[in-house]
């Protein structure tokens, strides 16, 4: 173990728990259940995607070829996976009590989050200029026919909801980075950064499903 | 139950007196106070929903227009449904009794996440405020099911109602997560799964549905709101959308939601039956596992709402059969409750009267449910008053009876006062009779072909509609009676002891009202719940052998 094994701040045990172990277990289970509910939130959208993909297979394929930029989606996939790696490393070092290093790694993740949002913003701007918009706003000449606007309806709702999750995740990571910098975490108390990491991995995982659905197939 | 806790002297103040002032309530993290907040909020919602119901029944008193226009009538039945389901029946029993008693029954000091628990109250309050604001703006006229494309094109204020229900959904998810985690991680020493009170089992099953199904509803409500606001065409056939998809997604939540409403009711009944029959639950494990069975099967029955919506006959048949499985699990519970009564020492009190009402409504409503799950019969009854009467019997009858049974049973524990037993029995009879008088005519009307949600009807349906309205008036009077004597009991009621019913439920081992700090010493559990074995009524439990000697 490195020198900084004792955290600067005593791990807070809430009054209603009997032990730190019970508190950590409760927090972990709660987070997993929350992630399950998040997955189901997106499941409604994935179902809608499956139904419309089945109804309009050719138009969806065409829209995916001509409507979205493959480079943007691919780059963003790498950006998010890398950010998940740095979060996992940050968690690892926070647990070892190396708070400053953990904070730096979380800051890298945060920066990658901004890169992701930046690329997404460029894509959204293009969609607006090309008229690749949902429902009645749709006026993209290259892909026409029933279901063409539906692809972009789903595209905007799915990536929009995912983007909102990215923003929330980045906020959480920023808080964790500050707390890690203050050496709040150590071998005993690491639950908050673990939960933040789980959330970020989920955000990443959802993108890993969105990427092939919207950009590849 | 923990005999050792009886000897502990409670020198801490009870949860009501522990802190004074409005602030101490608004920022409380005490699960008991949060339960009381839910009691006030959901009961207010119930009064609002009941007001809408009365207006509907008054309108239907005559075949033609009576007191309102057709448009107002459409709004009334929509708001009645939305308020009763999202603001009362889904949150009521878990919010009130789950919050108050789950930690007490588990020997825990609080739920696992007290701050999130408070957040759930505020999410409920915010959602309810948005919905009520929408109602003041004119309300929606789509029916509580929000079917497209009408819901996406109507000019009424459907968006605030949708968003209100969306926000309340998160309150429900948070509560569900809290209860699951509490049950898994906060059980006191010795409280194994097969010693848990049946109330906890059933609330646990409810929470699973809340966590898994509510997000899907949230998504679909959001999609309808987006489409209504911006015309994205998600469910609009004119833009390539599929309105049937909305129905599938909607019922994927809303059918399991029926079990979100009725499983907590079953939770309450399991406790009350044991307490007033003074017997152990017959078939404890069967009752516990059937709760999980209902929760599981409930996820695969949503298609029975789409028998006439363009689903294939094969799908309809499968969904029909799966729906009937719910009947099996429900029957297991009903038989076990009645078997518990057999040779019990029954005390016929107000809570027990509601148990009887519950059993009647559940069996009657359940059997008509099995009939409705039969595709060929359903086609005849689809969208008639038969369906309305069926789901009011099973959901409303079931939930309200259990709610009232629970509120009477636990009132002395929650507030330390006894209500007037005589008036309570009068009110129970009024409510049960009124409920039957309201909805039995609707079964008959539905079978004669009267469609639901219609503003006017042919003259031959008139007498039965008058009967239904008369029943509803009686029902409303009964509820007012309950409200009055319960509120009066807070001031004038006889002070209740720690355990006025002589119940063996774990939660009765605390003073009434419970101390702010639940247990000065964490209780140790040495046997299963409702332990009435080998002892006469009123007799205290004998000293229990050490835990390792017992196998529950």
Q: Show the 3-state SS of B319-363.
A: HHHHHHHHHHHHHHHHHHHHHHHCCCCCCCCHHHHHHHHHHHHHH
- At A122, give phi and psi (nearest 5°): -60, -45
Instruction: Give the Å distances, CA to CA, from B203 to A16, B101, B245, B266, B272.
Output: 21, 11, 30, 9, 15
pLDDT computed for residue B124 by the predictor: 96
Residues B99, B503: contact at Cβ < 8 Å?
A: no
User: Burial, B462: exposed, middle or buried (Cβ in 10 Å; 0-12, 13-18, 19+)?
Assistant: middle
- Residue to mutate among A21, A31, A41, A138, with most B CBs inside 10 A, is A41
Give B110's DSSP letter.
S
Q: Long-range contacts for B64-71 (Cβ within 8 Å, ≥24 apart)?
A: B64/B456, B65/B455, B65/B456, B70/B455, B70/B456, B71/B141
Residue B533: pLDDT over 90: no
No. of helices (H) and no. of strands (E), chain B: 19, 0
Question: Chain B 111-170, CB below 8 Å of chain A: which residues?
Answer: 111-114, 116
Q: Under DSSP, is residue B27 helix (H, G, I), strand (E, B) or coil?
A: coil
- Residue to mutate among B232, B521, B523, with most A CBs inside 10 A, is B232
Size of interface A-B (CB pairs under 8 A): 114
Residue B428: pLDDT over 80: yes
- Residue to mutate among B119, B120, B181, B249, with most A CBs inside 10 A, is B181
Per the CB < 8 Å rule, is A36 touching B212? yes
Closest residue on chain B to A21 (Cα): B185
Q: Where are the beta strands (DSSP E) in B125-181?
A: none
- B455–chain A nearest CA distance, Å: 34
Cα–Cα distance for residue pair B513/B1, rounded to 1 Å: 17
The angle subtended at Cα B330 by Cα B326 and Cα B331, nearest 5°, is 115
pLDDT computed for residue A1 by the predictor: 38
pLDDT computed for residue B6 by the predictor: 47
Q: Tokens in use for B463? A: 């007498």
Mean pLDDT of B341-353: 93
- C-alpha A36, offset from chain centre: 14
Residues paired with residue B14 on neighbouring β-strands, in sequence order = B515
Per the CB < 8 Å rule, is B219 touching A135? no
Cα–Cα distance for residue pair B457/B171, rounded to 1 Å: 40
Angle between helix axes A20-55 and A148-181 (nearest 10 degrees) is 160
Residues B518, B510: contact at Cβ < 8 Å?
A: yes
Residue B540: pLDDT over 90: no
- Of B173-187, B238-252, B294-308, which has the strongest mean pLDDT? B173-187
Per the CB < 8 Å rule, is B110 touching A51? no
pLDDT computed for residue B312 by the predictor: 87
Residues B98, B42: contact at Cβ < 8 Å?
A: no
Phi-psi region of B416 (alpha: psi -120 to 50; beta: other; left: phi over 0): left
Question: Chain B 498-527, CB below 8 Å of chain A: which residues?
Answer: 522
Closest residue on chain B to A28 (Cα): B181
Closest residue on chain B to A25 (Cα): B185
Interchain CB contact of B66 with A (< 8 Å) = no
Residue B531: pLDDT over 90: no
Residues B509, B533: contact at Cβ < 8 Å?
A: no
Per the CB < 8 Å rule, is A29 touching B181? yes
Range from B51-55, B343-347, B358-362 carrying the lowest mean pLDDT = B343-347
- Residue to mutate among B177, B178, B218, with most A CBs inside 10 A, is B177
Range from A73-77, A165-169, B315-319 carrying the lowest mean pLDDT = B315-319
Give B145's DSSP letter.
T
Radius of gyration, CA atoms only, chain A: 21
Residues B157, B134: contact at Cβ < 8 Å?
A: yes
Q: Tokens in use for A95? A: 């647990």
Quickly state the pLDDT bin for B534 (edges 50, 70, 90): low
Residue B381: pLDDT over 70: yes
Residues B133, B160: contact at Cβ < 8 Å?
A: yes
pLDDT computed for residue B546 by the predictor: 36
ipTM: 0.90
> Looking at beta carbons, which residues of chain A come within 8 Å of B110?
15-16
Cα–Cα distance for residue pair B92/A164, rounded to 1 Å: 31
Cα–Cα distance for residue pair B142/B75, rounded to 1 Å: 8
Instruction: Give the Å distances, CA to CA, from B195 to B119, B198, B505, B509, B550.
Output: 31, 9, 11, 16, 11
pLDDT computed for residue B151 by the predictor: 87
Cα–Cα distance for residue pair B390/B399, rounded to 1 Å: 13
Half-sphere exposure of B530 (CA within 13 A, CB side): 24
- B238–chain A nearest CA distance, Å: 9
- C-alpha B205, offset from chain centre: 13
CB-nearest to B185 from A15, A26, A147 is A26
pLDDT computed for residue A67 by the predictor: 86
- Residue to mutate among B234, B523, B524, with most A CBs inside 10 A, is B234
Per the CB < 8 Å rule, is A56 touching B240? yes
Residues B82, B144: contact at Cβ < 8 Å?
A: yes
Mean of the per-residue pLDDT values for chain B? 90
Q: Tokens in use for B515? A: 């101390």
Per the CB < 8 Å rule, is B211 touching A36? yes
CB-nearest to B522 from A18, A25, A48 is A18
CB-nearest to A150 from B185, B214, B241 is B241
Per the CB < 8 Å rule, is A43 touching B112? no
pLDDT digits (tens, 9 = 90+) for A1-54: 344 444 445 567 888 888 888 999 999 999 999 999 999 999 999 999 999 999
- At B432, give phi and psi (nearest 5°): -65, -40
> Looking at beta carbons, which residues of chain B come within 8 Å of A17?
186
Q: Which chain A residues have any C-beta within 8 angstroms of a chain B C-beta?
A: 14-18, 22, 25-26, 29-30, 33-34, 36-38, 40-45, 47-48, 51-52, 55-56, 134-136, 146-150, 153-154, 157
Cα–Cα distance for residue pair B503/A35, rounded to 1 Å: 39
Mean pLDDT of A199-203: 96
> Looking at beta carbons, which residues of chain A come within 8 Å of B173?
37
Percent of residues, chain B, with pLDDT higher than 90: 72
Residues B397, B361: contact at Cβ < 8 Å?
A: yes
Q: Under DSSP, is residue B184 helix (H, G, I), strand (E, B) or coil?
A: helix
SS (H, E, C) chain A: CCCCCCCCCCCCCCCCCCCHHHHHHHHHHHHHHHHHHHHHHHHHHHHHHHHHHHHCHHHHHHHHHHCCCHHHHHHHHHHHHHHHHHHHHHHHHHHCCCHHHHHHHHHHHHHHHHHHHHHHHHHHHHHHHHCCCCHHHCCCCCCCCCCHHHHHHHHHHHHHHHHHHHHHHHHHHHHHHHHHHCCCCCCCCCHHHHHHHHHHHHHHHHHHHHHHHHHHC
- A32–chain B nearest CA distance, Å: 9
pLDDT computed for residue B10 by the predictor: 61
pLDDT computed for residue A142 by the predictor: 82
**Which residue from B157, B128, B120 is spatially nearest to B47, judged by alpha carbons?**
B128
Per the CB < 8 Å rule, is A16 touching B522? no
In B217-242, which positions are buried (b, 16+ CB within 10 angstroms) versus exposed (e)? bbbbbbbbbbbbeebbbbbbeebbbb
Residues B392, B439: contact at Cβ < 8 Å?
A: yes
Mean pLDDT of B357-365: 95
Per the CB < 8 Å rule, is B181 touching A30? yes
Per the CB < 8 Å rule, is A44 touching B231? no
Range from A54-58, B426-430, B547-551 carrying the lowest mean pLDDT = B547-551
Q: Tokens in use for B279? A: 């017997």
Cα–Cα distance for residue pair B130/B135, rounded to 1 Å: 9
Question: Hey, what's the torsion of the CAs at B324, B328, B329, B331, to 10 degrees?
Answer: 120
Residues B213, B220: contact at Cβ < 8 Å?
A: no
- Residue to mutate among A13, A32, A39, A48, with most B CBs inside 10 A, is A48
Instruction: Give the Å distances, CA to CA, from B511 to A97, B31, B156, B491.
Output: 46, 16, 51, 19
Closest residue on chain A to B208 (Cα): A33
- A167–chain B nearest CA distance, Å: 19
- B371–chain A nearest CA distance, Å: 30
Percent of residues, chain B, with pLDDT higher than 70: 94
- B251–chain A nearest CA distance, Å: 12
- B239–chain A nearest CA distance, Å: 7
pLDDT digits (tens, 9 = 90+) for B439-480: 999 999 999 999 999 999 999 999 999 999 999 999 999 999
Residues B525, B548: contact at Cβ < 8 Å?
A: no
Residue with tokens 């390539």: B240
pLDDT digits (tens, 9 = 90+) for B37-69: 999 999 999 999 999 999 999 999 999 999 999
Q: How long a stretch of residues is chain B?
A: 552
- At B452, give phi and psi (nearest 5°): -75, 160
- B179–chain A nearest CA distance, Å: 10
Angle between helix axes A70-95 and A148-181 (nearest 10 degrees) is 20
């Amino acid at each position: 173990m490195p020198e900084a094994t004792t955290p600067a701040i005593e791990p807070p045990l809430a009054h209603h728990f009997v032990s730190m172990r019970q508190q950590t277990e409760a927090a972990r289970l709660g987070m997993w259940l929350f992630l399950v509910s998040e997955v189901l939130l997106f499941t409604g959208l994935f179902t809608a995607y499956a139904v419309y993909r089945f109804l309009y297979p050719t138009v969806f394929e065409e829209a995916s070829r001509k409507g979205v930029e493959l480079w943007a989606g691919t780059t963003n996939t790498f950006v998010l996976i890398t950010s998940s790696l740095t979060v996992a490393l940050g968690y690892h070092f926070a647990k070892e009590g190396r708070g400053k290093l953990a904070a730096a790694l979380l800051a890298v993740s945060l920066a990658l989050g901004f890169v992701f949002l930046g690329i997404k913003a460029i894509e959204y701007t293009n969609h607006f200029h090309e008229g690749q918009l949902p429902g009645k706003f749709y006026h993209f000449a290259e892909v026409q026919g029933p279901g063409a606007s539906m692809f972009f309806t789903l595209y905007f709702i799915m990536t929009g909801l995912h983007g909102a999750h990215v923003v929330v995740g980045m906020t959480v990571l920023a808080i964790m980075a500050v707390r890690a910098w203050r050496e709040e975490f150590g071998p005993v108390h690491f639950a908050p950064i673990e939960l933040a990491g789980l959330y970020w991995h989920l955000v990443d995982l959802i993108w890993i499903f969105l990427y092939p659905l919207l950009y590849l197939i | 139950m923990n005999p050792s806790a009886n000897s502990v002297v409670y020198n801490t103040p009870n949860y009501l007196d522990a802190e004074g002032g409005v602030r101490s309530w608004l920022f409380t993290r005490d699960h008991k106070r949060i339960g009381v907040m839910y009691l006030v909020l959901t009961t207010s919602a119930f009064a609002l929903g009941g007001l809408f119901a009365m207006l509907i029944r008054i309108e239907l008193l005559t075949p033609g227009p009576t007191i309102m226009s057709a448009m107002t009538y459409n709004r009334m039945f929509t708001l009645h449904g939305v308020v009763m389901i999202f603001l009362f029946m889904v949150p009521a029993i878990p919010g009130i009794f789950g919050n108050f008693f789950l930690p007490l029954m588990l020997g825990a000091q609080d739920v696992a996440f007290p701050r999130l628990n408070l957040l759930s109250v505020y999410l409920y309050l915010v959602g309810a405020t948005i919905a009520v604001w929408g109602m003041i703006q004119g309300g929606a006229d789509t029916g509580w099911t929000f079917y497209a494309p009408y819901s996406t094109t109507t000019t009424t204020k459907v968006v605030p109602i949708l968003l209100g229900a969306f926000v309340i959904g998160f309150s429900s998810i948070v509560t569900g997560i809290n209860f699951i985690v509490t049950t898994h991680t906060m059980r006191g020493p010795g409280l194994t799964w097969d010693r848990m009170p049946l109330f906890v089992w059933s609330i646990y099953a409810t929470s699973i549905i809340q966590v898994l199904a509510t997000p899907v509803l949230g998504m679909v409500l959001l999609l309808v709101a987006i489409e209504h606001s911006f015309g994205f065409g998600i469910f609009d056939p004119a833009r390539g959308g599929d309105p049937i998809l909305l129905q599938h997604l909607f019922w994927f939540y809303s059918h399991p939601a029926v079990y979100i409403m009725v499983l907590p009711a079953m939770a309450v009944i399991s406790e009350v039956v044991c307490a007033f029959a003074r017997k152990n639950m017959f078939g404890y494990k069967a009752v516990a596992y059937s709760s999980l069975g209902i929760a599981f099967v409930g996820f695969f029955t949503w298609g029975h709402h789409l028998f006439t919506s363009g689903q294939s006959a094969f799908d309809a048949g499968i969904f029909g059969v799966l729906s009937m499985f719910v009947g099996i699990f429900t029957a297991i519970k009903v038989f076990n409750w009645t078997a518990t009564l057999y040779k019990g020492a029954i005390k016929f009190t107000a809570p027990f009267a509601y148990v009887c009402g519950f059993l009647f409504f559940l069996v009657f409503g359940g059997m008509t449910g099995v009939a409705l799950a039969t595709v060929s019969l359903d086609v005849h009854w689809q969208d008639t008053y038969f369906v309305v009467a069926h789901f009011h019997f099973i959901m409303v009858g079931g939930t309200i009876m259990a709610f009232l049974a629970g509120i009477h049973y636990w009132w002395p524990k929650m507030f330390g006062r006894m209500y007037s037993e005589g008036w309570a029995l009068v009110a129970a009879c009024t409510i049960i009779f009124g409920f039957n008088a309201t909805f039995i005519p609707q079964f008959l009307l539905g079978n004669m072909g009267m469609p639901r949600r219609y503003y006017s009807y042919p003259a031959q349906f008139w007498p039965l509609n008058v009967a239904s309205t008369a029943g509803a008036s009686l029902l409303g009077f009964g509820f007012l009676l309950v409200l009055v004597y319960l509120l009066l009991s807070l001031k004038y009621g006889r002070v209740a002891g720690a355990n006025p019913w002589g119940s063996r439920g774990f939660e009765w081992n605390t003073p009434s009202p419970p101390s702010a700090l639940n247990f000065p010493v964490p209780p140790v559990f040495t046997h299963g719940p409702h332990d009435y074995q080998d002892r006469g009524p009123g007799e205290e439990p004998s000293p229990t052998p050490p835990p390792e000697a017992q196998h529950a």
